Amino acid sequence: MQLQKKVLSNLITGIVVATITSTAAAATDGKIKIGVLADMGGTYADLCGPGCVIATRMAIEDFGGKALGKDIELVSADSQLKPDIASSVARKWVENEDVDVIGGLVSSAVTGAVTQVTNNSKNITLITGSASNAFTTSACSPYIAHWTYNVVALANGTVKQMVNEGKNKWFFITADYAFGHALEGVSMKVIEANGGETVGTVRAPLGTTDFSSYVLQAQASGANVVALANAGNDTVNALNAAAEFGLTDYMDIAGLLVFTPNAQAMDPDTAQGMRLTTGFYWDMDDQTRAWSKRFEALHGAIPSMAHAGAYSATMHYLKAVDAVGTDDSDAVMKQMKLTKPDDFFARNATLRADGRMEHDMLLVEIKKAADRKNKNDIYNIVEVIPGNKAYNPMLPSCAF
């Protein structure tokens, strides 16, 4: 409970959100308008930026382009990874532009700002890029569907497996905002529960380019694992610094959140053998390869799990709208939870009453350069982790 309170506190710290007094339900104008709010040019742009817009558009087109007898509209905006900008865009969309649902949402601080707006306006949010588990615990809401992954699934995959293999002394280099704090905190609990210990932590601002001082602290810590509780370019830069100072020669580096674009940017000689947990891999089977080939043709790169999640969440939402014959958020969300998601992304999936989309996760290993057939051949799948083993249990207070 203390961790959940701390996560919620981190989510709202520094967020400038105007008070919304209206509790009227989101407008039910009989027309579907979808907004994608993502990082279009910053640290997380490759993870869920223009690609999340493309994936959402693919879902709309595959659905037929129409819902409730009218063309589906798609709008997008750049959050710039700034919570105040994100909340301002969200408010304009739901209050003035009749946007029904907002997707994308990478960075937990940004997502926290947006959900404060959409929860009050009773608009559905499809969280496909953010990791904090607060959105289905301390900050849960009847209007949130948290799709792709969360920090608990990452820790239960990568961290638990490494500790059980004897990697029992951990040092964290952590992104200094809500996501990093949450990932670090959950991972520490998994380490302790499995007989390991955390010997030190250091916090690095989002967008850090020089990780040398943080790596030197890890080097002096006595740890046998350096955990990178960050994402995007921050992970790549931290790994490069670790290799430069020789840490990768005698310490394990755990990438706690590594997306495929990040894995491609890593030197295979440095990253080979690194294990990580992901919600999707493009080369898993025929279904994932077929969709990923279409996405790559449009985007110029293979999809991250956030891109695949954006498609899956959008399609599930549109199917629910079609089934209930209205864009009323309460009716649509009820239908979304009654119907099991089932597509190339969502395997053995359930959208729980708390809004957590529980599905199979993958423990993967980064391939050696010599084992790669091409630039997109990045991972070996080590294990499929069932969703009920990966995700946190549902809180009764969040069962909407």
**pLDDT band at residue 7 under the 50/70/90 scheme:** very low
152-278+361-390 matches 2-149+286-359 in CATH topology: yes
- Is pLDDT above 70 for 166? yes
Query: What mean pLDDT do residues 53-60 have?
Result: 98
- Is pLDDT above 70 for 23? no
Name the class of domain 2-149+286-359: alpha beta
**pLDDT band at residue 303 under the 50/70/90 scheme:** very high
Over the chain, what is the mean pLDDT?
Answer: 92
Q: What is the pLDDT of residue 6?
A: 42
Distance between terminal CA atoms of the chain? 19
Q: What is the domain partition of the chain in residue ranges? A: 2-149+286-359, 152-278+361-390
Q: What is the pLDDT of residue 24?
A: 38
- Is pLDDT above 70 for 9? no
Query: What mean pLDDT do residues 315-343 have?
Result: 98
pTM: 0.89
**pLDDT band at residue 120 under the 50/70/90 scheme:** very high
Q: What is the pLDDT of residue 308?
A: 98
**pLDDT band at residue 26 under the 50/70/90 scheme:** low
- Is pLDDT above 80 for 3? no
% of the chain surpassing 70 pLDDT: 93
**pLDDT band at residue 2 under the 50/70/90 scheme:** very low
Q: What is the pLDDT of residue 28?
A: 72
Q: What is the pLDDT of residue 178?
A: 83
- Is pLDDT above 60 for 14? no
Query: What mean pLDDT do residues 60-86 have?
Result: 97
Name the class of domain 152-278+361-390: alpha beta
Nearest alpha carbon to residue 294 among 60, 55, 64, 104: 55
Nearest alpha carbon to residue 281 among 305, 255, 313, 314: 305
Q: What is the pLDDT of residue 32?
A: 98
Q: Which residue did the predictor score with more confidence, 383 or 9?
A: 383
Q: What is the pLDDT of residue 27?
A: 55
- Is pLDDT above 80 for 21? no
- Is pLDDT above 80 for 174? yes
- pLDDT for 200-257, tens place per residue? 999 999 889 999 999 999 999 999 999 999 988 899 999 999 999 999 888 999 999 9
* Mean pLDDT lowest among 13-17, 132-136, 284-288, 305-309: 13-17
